[in-house]
Amino acid sequence: MLQVRQQQARIVRTVRMAFAGTNVSLSQPDIMQKLTERIDDLKQRIAAWGKRIRRYTERSTRFNQNRLFQSDQKRLYKLLERPMVSGTGPAPNQADTVAFWRGMWPEPINHSEGPWTEVVASQCASITPMNPVIITPDDVAEAVRGAPNWKSPGLDGLHHYWLKGFVLCPTVLARQFQEALNQKSLPSLSTTGITVWFLKTRLPQTRANTAPSRVCRPYTRH
Protein backbone atom coordinates (compact mmCIF):
# COMPACT_ATOMS: atom_id res chain seq x y z
CA MET A 1 0.00 0.00 0.00
CA LEU A 2 2.84 2.33 0.89
CA GLN A 3 4.52 1.64 -2.45
CA VAL A 4 1.32 2.51 -4.35
CA ARG A 5 1.04 5.81 -2.47
CA GLN A 6 4.67 6.64 -3.29
CA GLN A 7 4.05 5.96 -6.98
CA GLN A 8 0.94 8.15 -6.92
CA ALA A 9 2.90 10.95 -5.26
CA ARG A 10 5.61 10.74 -7.94
CA ILE A 11 2.99 10.86 -10.69
CA VAL A 12 1.35 13.91 -9.15
CA ARG A 13 4.71 15.69 -8.84
CA THR A 14 5.54 14.87 -12.45
CA VAL A 15 2.19 16.18 -13.69
CA ARG A 16 2.60 19.38 -11.68
CA MET A 17 6.07 19.90 -13.16
CA ALA A 18 4.63 19.39 -16.65
CA PHE A 19 2.03 22.09 -16.03
CA ALA A 20 4.44 24.48 -14.32
CA GLY A 21 4.01 28.02 -15.62
CA THR A 22 0.48 27.39 -16.87
CA ASN A 23 -2.93 28.15 -15.38
CA VAL A 24 -4.04 24.51 -15.44
CA SER A 25 -5.15 22.96 -12.17
CA LEU A 26 -5.28 19.25 -11.43
CA SER A 27 -8.84 19.67 -10.13
CA GLN A 28 -10.24 20.80 -13.46
CA PRO A 29 -12.76 18.37 -15.03
CA ASP A 30 -10.98 18.22 -18.41
CA ILE A 31 -7.58 17.59 -16.88
CA MET A 32 -7.01 14.42 -18.95
CA GLN A 33 -7.52 16.28 -22.22
CA LYS A 34 -5.25 19.10 -21.10
CA LEU A 35 -2.68 16.55 -19.96
CA THR A 36 -2.71 14.89 -23.39
CA GLU A 37 -2.31 18.26 -25.12
CA ARG A 38 0.52 19.21 -22.76
CA ILE A 39 2.34 15.95 -23.44
CA ASP A 40 2.05 16.49 -27.21
CA ASP A 41 3.34 20.04 -26.83
CA LEU A 42 6.34 18.91 -24.78
CA LYS A 43 7.11 16.15 -27.30
CA GLN A 44 7.14 18.69 -30.13
CA ARG A 45 9.42 20.98 -28.15
CA ILE A 46 11.80 18.13 -27.39
CA ALA A 47 11.87 17.13 -31.07
CA ALA A 48 12.58 20.72 -32.10
CA TRP A 49 15.42 21.03 -29.60
CA GLY A 50 16.79 17.68 -30.75
CA LYS A 51 16.91 18.90 -34.35
CA ARG A 52 18.67 22.08 -33.29
CA ILE A 53 21.24 20.10 -31.33
CA ARG A 54 21.83 17.75 -34.28
CA ARG A 55 22.26 20.68 -36.67
CA TYR A 56 24.73 22.31 -34.30
CA THR A 57 26.65 19.06 -33.85
CA GLU A 58 26.88 18.51 -37.62
CA ARG A 59 27.99 22.09 -38.22
CA SER A 60 30.57 21.89 -35.42
CA THR A 61 31.89 18.59 -36.79
CA ARG A 62 32.27 20.02 -40.31
CA PHE A 63 34.00 23.12 -38.95
CA ASN A 64 36.48 21.09 -36.88
CA GLN A 65 37.17 18.74 -39.80
CA ASN A 66 37.86 21.68 -42.12
CA ARG A 67 40.32 23.14 -39.62
CA LEU A 68 41.98 19.77 -39.10
CA PHE A 69 42.20 19.28 -42.89
CA GLN A 70 44.26 22.47 -43.09
CA SER A 71 46.59 21.54 -40.23
CA ASP A 72 46.93 17.74 -40.25
CA GLN A 73 45.34 15.80 -43.12
CA LYS A 74 46.77 12.47 -42.02
CA ARG A 75 45.11 12.76 -38.63
CA LEU A 76 41.81 13.73 -40.27
CA TYR A 77 41.84 10.64 -42.50
CA LYS A 78 42.47 8.47 -39.45
CA LEU A 79 39.54 10.04 -37.62
CA LEU A 80 37.25 9.49 -40.60
CA GLU A 81 37.89 5.76 -40.63
CA ARG A 82 35.52 3.52 -38.75
CA PRO A 83 36.82 2.08 -35.46
CA MET A 84 39.03 -0.97 -35.65
CA VAL A 85 37.21 -4.18 -34.77
CA SER A 86 39.00 -5.84 -31.92
CA GLY A 87 40.30 -9.34 -32.41
CA THR A 88 43.12 -11.69 -31.66
CA GLY A 89 46.36 -12.29 -33.45
CA PRO A 90 48.71 -9.96 -35.29
CA ALA A 91 47.62 -7.80 -38.20
CA PRO A 92 48.58 -8.82 -41.76
CA ASN A 93 52.05 -7.89 -42.93
CA GLN A 94 52.06 -4.45 -44.50
CA ALA A 95 54.34 -5.38 -47.39
CA ASP A 96 52.24 -8.44 -48.29
CA THR A 97 49.04 -6.40 -48.14
CA VAL A 98 50.39 -3.69 -50.42
CA ALA A 99 51.73 -6.27 -52.88
CA PHE A 100 48.39 -8.09 -52.89
CA TRP A 101 46.33 -5.04 -53.84
CA ARG A 102 48.97 -3.62 -56.16
CA GLY A 103 48.80 -6.84 -58.13
CA MET A 104 45.03 -6.52 -58.53
CA TRP A 105 44.79 -2.90 -59.69
CA PRO A 106 46.78 -3.31 -62.95
CA GLU A 107 44.45 -6.10 -64.07
CA PRO A 108 42.61 -5.20 -67.32
CA ILE A 109 38.97 -4.23 -66.95
CA ASN A 110 36.55 -6.55 -68.70
CA HIS A 111 33.18 -4.87 -69.01
CA SER A 112 30.08 -6.94 -69.59
CA GLU A 113 28.62 -5.32 -72.71
CA GLY A 114 24.98 -6.33 -72.91
CA PRO A 115 22.64 -5.86 -75.90
CA TRP A 116 21.09 -2.83 -74.24
CA THR A 117 24.28 -0.82 -74.80
CA GLU A 118 23.81 -1.08 -78.58
CA VAL A 119 20.22 0.08 -78.22
CA VAL A 120 21.30 3.11 -76.19
CA ALA A 121 24.09 3.90 -78.67
CA SER A 122 21.66 3.83 -81.60
CA GLN A 123 19.22 6.08 -79.74
CA CYS A 124 21.97 8.59 -78.95
CA ALA A 125 23.33 8.67 -82.50
CA SER A 126 20.76 11.26 -83.57
CA ILE A 127 21.49 13.61 -80.66
CA THR A 128 23.14 16.84 -81.73
CA PRO A 129 26.52 17.26 -80.04
CA MET A 130 26.76 20.06 -77.52
CA ASN A 131 28.38 23.27 -78.67
CA PRO A 132 31.95 23.82 -77.49
CA VAL A 133 32.13 25.34 -74.02
CA ILE A 134 34.01 28.61 -73.83
CA ILE A 135 34.95 29.73 -70.32
CA THR A 136 35.63 33.44 -70.07
CA PRO A 137 37.10 35.48 -67.21
CA ASP A 138 33.65 36.98 -66.72
CA ASP A 139 32.25 33.49 -66.12
CA VAL A 140 34.85 32.83 -63.42
CA ALA A 141 34.29 36.23 -61.82
CA GLU A 142 30.54 35.62 -61.77
CA ALA A 143 31.05 32.18 -60.18
CA VAL A 144 33.19 33.49 -57.31
CA ARG A 145 31.18 36.68 -56.78
CA GLY A 146 28.67 34.96 -54.52
CA ALA A 147 31.23 32.79 -52.71
CA PRO A 148 31.99 33.55 -49.03
CA ASN A 149 35.08 35.72 -48.63
CA TRP A 150 36.82 34.05 -45.70
CA LYS A 151 35.67 30.45 -45.65
CA SER A 152 38.34 27.78 -45.18
CA PRO A 153 40.55 27.84 -48.29
CA GLY A 154 42.02 24.91 -50.17
CA LEU A 155 45.59 23.65 -50.02
CA ASP A 156 46.79 26.79 -51.77
CA GLY A 157 45.58 28.84 -48.81
CA LEU A 158 43.87 31.32 -51.13
CA HIS A 159 40.58 32.74 -49.90
CA HIS A 160 37.80 33.77 -52.24
CA TYR A 161 38.34 37.38 -51.19
CA TRP A 162 41.59 37.54 -53.15
CA LEU A 163 40.04 35.88 -56.20
CA LYS A 164 37.53 38.70 -56.22
CA GLY A 165 40.08 41.44 -55.55
CA PHE A 166 42.87 40.57 -58.00
CA VAL A 167 41.58 41.20 -61.51
CA LEU A 168 44.09 38.82 -63.13
CA CYS A 169 42.94 35.75 -61.17
CA PRO A 170 39.76 35.12 -63.22
CA THR A 171 41.78 35.40 -66.44
CA VAL A 172 44.33 32.81 -65.34
CA LEU A 173 41.69 30.45 -63.97
CA ALA A 174 39.59 30.74 -67.13
CA ARG A 175 42.61 29.86 -69.26
CA GLN A 176 43.42 26.83 -67.10
CA PHE A 177 39.83 25.59 -67.18
CA GLN A 178 39.68 26.04 -70.95
CA GLU A 179 42.93 24.13 -71.43
CA ALA A 180 41.58 21.28 -69.31
CA LEU A 181 38.47 21.08 -71.52
CA ASN A 182 40.31 21.36 -74.83
CA GLN A 183 43.12 18.96 -74.00
CA LYS A 184 40.80 16.62 -72.06
CA SER A 185 43.37 16.29 -69.32
CA LEU A 186 43.90 17.70 -65.87
CA PRO A 187 47.11 18.48 -64.00
CA SER A 188 48.26 15.77 -61.64
CA LEU A 189 47.90 18.08 -58.64
CA SER A 190 44.12 18.02 -59.17
CA THR A 191 43.70 14.31 -59.80
CA THR A 192 46.46 12.45 -57.95
CA GLY A 193 44.84 10.58 -55.09
CA ILE A 194 46.03 9.45 -51.69
CA THR A 195 45.00 5.92 -50.76
CA VAL A 196 44.29 5.36 -47.07
CA TRP A 197 44.20 1.73 -45.94
CA PHE A 198 42.32 0.18 -43.06
CA LEU A 199 41.76 -3.35 -41.83
CA LYS A 200 38.13 -4.40 -42.31
CA THR A 201 38.28 -6.90 -39.46
CA ARG A 202 40.91 -8.73 -37.47
CA LEU A 203 39.35 -12.10 -38.21
CA PRO A 204 40.49 -13.86 -40.31
CA GLN A 205 44.06 -12.67 -40.77
CA THR A 206 44.32 -12.41 -44.55
CA ARG A 207 45.64 -9.84 -47.01
CA ALA A 208 42.31 -9.74 -48.81
CA ASN A 209 40.71 -8.68 -45.56
CA THR A 210 41.94 -5.14 -46.11
CA ALA A 211 40.55 -2.53 -48.43
CA PRO A 212 41.32 1.02 -49.50
CA SER A 213 38.88 3.21 -47.62
CA ARG A 214 38.89 6.07 -50.11
CA VAL A 215 41.04 7.80 -52.65
CA CYS A 216 41.10 11.46 -51.75
CA ARG A 217 42.18 14.09 -54.21
CA PRO A 218 44.46 16.74 -52.74
CA TYR A 219 41.72 19.34 -53.18
CA THR A 220 38.92 17.22 -51.75
CA ARG A 221 37.06 18.96 -48.93
CA HIS A 222 35.29 17.13 -46.11
pLDDT band at residue 221 under the 50/70/90 scheme:
very low
Report, as an integer, the average pLDDT of 49-78: 88
Report whether pLDDT(218) > 50. no
More confident residue, 207 or 3: 3
C-beta atoms surrounding 140 within 10 Å:
20
pLDDT band at residue 136 using 50, 70 and 90 as cut-offs: very high
Which pTM does this prediction carry?
0.35
pLDDT tens by residue, 151-177 = 777 666 778 888 888 888 888 888 888
- Nearest residue to 215 (alpha-carbon basis) of 77, 38, 11, 58: 77
pLDDT above 90: percentage of residues in the chain: 6
For residue 51, count other CB atoms closer than 10 A to its CB.
Answer: 10
Q: Which residue has the higher pLDDT, 74 or 110?
A: 74
Query: Greater confidence, 214 or 188?
Result: 188
Q: Per-residue pLDDT tens for 31-53?
A: 778 777 877 888 888 899 899 99
Highest mean pLDDT among 21-30, 62-71, 81-90: 62-71
| Residue 71 pLDDT exceeds 70 | yes
Neighbours of 29 (CB within 10 A): 7
Higher pLDDT, 196 or 86: 196
> What is the rounded average pLDDT for all residues in the chain?
75
Residue 178, pLDDT above cutoff 80: yes
In single-letter form, the type of residue at position 79 comes to L
